[in-house]
Amino acid sequence: MGADGVGEDEVLPGMGGYLRTVRAPEFAGMVFHEVEARSALNKVAGGAMPFGWTINPYRGCSHACRYCFARNSHSYLELDTGEDFDRQVVVKVNVARVLQRELRGRRWAREHVAMGTNTDPYQRAEGRYRLMPGVITALARSGTPFSVLTKGTLLARDLPLIADAAKDVSVGLGVSIALTDRSLQASLEPGTPTPAARLDLVRRIADLGLRCGVMIAPVLPMLTDSEEALDELLGRIAAAGAAGATVLALHLRPGTRDWFMAWLAREYPALVEPYRRLYSRGAYVDKRYREMLSARVVPLLRRHRLGGGAEQRGLPGDEQGRWSRGSLPRKADPEDLGEQLALL
């Protein structure tokens, strides 16, 4: 183990291309597993999404959202889907170099590439590894349109680069803000920047003349779903200059459900039974709840000029691949959106 807390004896099962493990003093509590990735571009299976490709420079996420449904991916590394997901992050240190090679391939058709669909590319690790500038530059130089969805205010570091890229390719930016209550956010999303800081990020993006969508996800039944809370959040999002908003109710998949329910039992024990009933049929909230939420949200989106209709489940990506006002993807089943987009 060196001064930077570097070890080579912690190879994890299922982690190909392993280089070393790092515990950096300035990232207390975090463990970074550096790997050489074989590929950077991931093909999205099934064709249900409005984008065909994704890039995920990191596995695991220090934003540590209790409800994160990417948690289950850590089980493939034989790490736990709770604390290990928050603290043990796999870093694809060569992602930009591998991407450049893939983008040079003759068969690359410059389809839209989405980032932030599994784990957050602007989580804390990006402050140390700075992988995204290389990724953005490679995409822009190859003429590949892309989008980024994040909770990380570190995105601001790359805004000049992204603004430059947007002159050459279509760029979509999205910021995820689920709530404004500061104490609930600190408990529910303990590793994330504050809602106010994320609203400020929306403002900075809009000030540059770039379109910015906001993902209000997840909405938590009986905690963040009151008309007053949603009205206030949408009002602040609109005031920050967002181009549109998407609203998704919480869903609880295996690997996430136990972690979230343990948090709920600690913080809001009276809600455990009501949640069990709402999620008695599986990962998705009861249909009647979804209908109630939809009826509540649609007029609010209209009032704040953030949706324009019944498309409260819009996704980043209109024909130009940009975040648009409540636009629905052409082929995607709305239920699958919540399943395949990380609830950032």
**What residue ranges bind ligand SF4 (CB under 6 A)?**
61, 63-65, 68, 70, 119-120, 151, 342-344
Question: Among 122, 177, 175, 117, which Cα is nearest to 340's?
Answer: 117
CB of 72 to ligand SF4, least distance (A): 11
Q: Choose between 70 and 230: whose C-beta lies nearer to ligand SF4.
A: 70
Q: Choose between 140 and 342: whose C-beta lies nearer to ligand SF4.
A: 342
Structure tokens at 17: 């291309």
CB of 90 to ligand SF4, least distance (A): 13
Structure tokens at 99: 């991407």
Q: Choose between 89 and 138: whose C-beta lies nearer to ligand SF4.
A: 89
Q: How far apart are CA 84 and CA 31, in angstroms?
A: 9
Residues with Cβ within 8 Å of 106's Cβ and at least 6 positions away in sequence, in order, are none
Q: How far apart are CA 203 and CA 242, in angstroms?
A: 8
Phi and psi, residue 66, nearest 5°? -60, -30
Q: Choose between 113 and 341: whose C-beta lies nearer to ligand SF4.
A: 341
Q: How far apart are CA 131 and CA 93, in angstroms?
A: 7
CB of 344 to ligand SF4, least distance (A): 4
CB of 120 to ligand SF4, least distance (A): 4
Q: How far apart are CA 70 and CA 116, in angstroms?
A: 11
Q: Choose between 64 and 234: whose C-beta lies nearer to ligand SF4.
A: 64
Q: Is 33 exposed, middle or buried (0-12, 13-18, 19+ CB in 10 A)?
A: buried
Q: Choose between 74 and 304: whose C-beta lies nearer to ligand SF4.
A: 74
CB of 48 to ligand SF4, least distance (A): 20
Question: Among 219, 230, 225, 226, which Cα is nearest to 301's?
Answer: 230
Question: Among 69, 68, 89, 71, which Cα is nearest to 22's?
Answer: 89
CB of 166 to ligand SF4, least distance (A): 23
DSSP 28-78: TT-EEEEE--S-S-EEPGGG-SS-SEEE-SEES-TT--TT-GGGGGGGGGT
Q: How far apart are CA 66 and CA 55, in angstroms?
A: 23
User: For residues 199 and 236, is the Cβ–Cβ distance under 8 A?
Assistant: yes
Q: Choose between 239 and 262: whose C-beta lies nearer to ligand SF4.
A: 262
CB of 124 to ligand SF4, least distance (A): 10
Residues with Cβ within 8 Å of 195's Cβ and at least 6 positions away in sequence, in order, are 177, 179, 180, 182, 185
CB of 52 to ligand SF4, least distance (A): 21
User: For residues 253 and 212, is the Cβ–Cβ distance under 8 A?
Assistant: no
Q: Choose between 62 and 142: whose C-beta lies nearer to ligand SF4.
A: 62
Q: Choose between 139 and 175: whose C-beta lies nearer to ligand SF4.
A: 175
CB of 305 to ligand SF4, least distance (A): 27
